[in-house]
């Protein structure tokens, strides 16, 4: 979706390179601030100060603090979905659940600011529908069973919910302890998930 701005004459026009660059800067500054200080402490004034511009200049690009935070959240989620989606698409169907788990944990461990942004969004009641959290992995698990020629098996919804909670726990532990081995944790989770899915 291309972002457009209404010109003084009332017609929509594409954003200029400078406007897109400034918006991108404001999104990144907001991600950094929310990750470091939390949503409540990330004020419009703090965003402006961190970007080196005035509050009025922030409001030129975004209608409110909520609008810039929403753009930052969308950026983080788009990056996560794109990264995980590419890993899943590159894997054979019977290995797609493992690719999903590895990349989900890997992305969030590599981008702790994204993990914190997602956590802050959930704390502030900007949560995805529960089904949106478990359905993608449940579908991958179902397809993986089919790819291995297996009939109906365990409830993939339940497995996906359990795996999602484990992913959250692994990423949360990494946020508390930067030395925590998320790669080993991902492999342990994958082993458990595959044992339950393909047994």
Instruction: Write out pLDDT tens, residues 147-171.
Output: 999 988 999 999 999 999 999 999 9
The domain defined by 4-68 carries CATH number 1.10.10.60:
yes
Model confidence at 10: pLDDT above 60: no
Beta strand segments in the chain, E? 4-6, 12-14
Q: Is the pLDDT of residue 6 over 70?
A: no
Share of the chain above pLDDT 90, in %: 76
> Cα torsion at 169, 38, 112, 135 (round to 10°)?
50
Pairwise CA distance, residues 94 & 72, whole Å: 34
Kindly report, residue by residue over 53-107, the tens digit of the pLDDT: 999 999 999 999 989 999 999 999 999 999 999 999 999 999 999 999 999 999 9
User: Helix, strand, or coil here: 6?
Assistant: strand
- Give the long-range contacts of residues 21-25, CB within 8 A, separation 24 or more: 22/53, 22/57, 22/61, 23/61, 23/62, 23/71, 25/51
Domain ranges of the chain: 4-68, 69-198
């Amino acid at each position: 979706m291309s972002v457009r701005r209404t010109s003084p004459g009332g017609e929509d026009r594409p954003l200029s390179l400078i406007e897109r660059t400034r918006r991108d800067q404001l999104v990144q500054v907001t991600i950094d601030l929310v990750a470091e200080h939390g949503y409540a402490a990330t004020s419009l004034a703090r965003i402006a100060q961190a970007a080196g511009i005035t509050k009025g200049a922030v409001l030129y690009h975004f209608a409110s603090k909520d609008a810039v935070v929403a753009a930052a959240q969308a950026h983080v989620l788009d990056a996560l979905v794109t990264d995980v989606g590419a890993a899943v698409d590159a894997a054979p169907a019977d290995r797609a659940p493992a690719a999903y788990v590895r990349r989900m944990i890997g992305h969030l461990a590599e981008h702790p600011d994204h993990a914190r942004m997602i956590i802050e969004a959930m704390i502030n009641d900007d949560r995805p529908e529960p089904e949106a959290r478990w359905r993608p992995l449940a579908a991958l698990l179902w397809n993986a069973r089919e790819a291995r020629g297996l009939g109906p098996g365990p409830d993939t919804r339940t497995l996906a919910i359990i795996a999602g909670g484990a992913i959250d726990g692994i990423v949360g532990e990494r946020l508390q302890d930067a030395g925590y081995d998320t790669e080993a944790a991902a492999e342990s989770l994958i082993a458990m998930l595959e044992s339950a899915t393909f047994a």
